[in-house]
Amino acid sequence: KAGVTQTPRYLIKTRGQQVTLSCSPISGHRSVSWYQQTPGQGLQFLFEYFSETQRNKGNFPGRFSGRQFSNSRSEMNVSTLELGDSALYLCASSLVQGISTGELFFGEGSRLTVL
């Protein structure tokens, strides 16, 4: 069974630009969560999607948004990039909604550098 796939793996943007990251979950998994990982803050929850609906959202500004498609693939978008958005963005999928009912399977991440 293929794992969680994230694209692109690496990207460089400049301040003010926007970026879209993609995540394909494990086949059959309907829940997709996004995390931002930085050396200073660790892993911080961005949002979770289940059945094309955002179910949970972390404490990030509105510049961070996402969506989920009918095939469970998910995208996240960051607009008006700031230097502080430089991070590893991790996507994780699970069979059902919410972590308490199952484990999260993580992708390798998309490393975003904002110059």
Partner 1 sequence: AQRVTQPEKLLSVFKGAPVELKCNYSYSGSPELFWYVQYSRQRLQLLLRHISRESIKGFTADLNKGETSFHLKKPFAQEEDSAMYYCALSGGSQGNLIFGKGTKLSVKP
Phi and psi (nearest 5°) for 29? -80, 135
Residue (52 or 108) nearer to partner 1, CB: 108
Tell which residue, 25, 22, 35, has the closest CA to residue 67: 22
CA–CA separation, 13 and 1 (whole Å)? 33
Q: Are strands 42-50 and 53-57 parallel, antiparallel or unpaired?
A: antiparallel
CA–CA separation, 42 and 26 (whole Å)? 24
Using CB under 8 A as the binding rule, whether residue 61 contacts partner 1 is answered as no
Segment lying near partner 1 (by CB under 8 A), choices 9-17, 37-45, 62-70, 72-80: 37-45
Residue (12 or 96) nearer to partner 1, CB: 96
- Interface residue with partner 1 among 21, 32, 90, 112 (CB under 8 A) is 90
**Contacting positions for partner 1 (CB under 8 A):** 3-4, 33, 35, 41-45, 48, 55-58, 90, 92, 98-100, 103-108
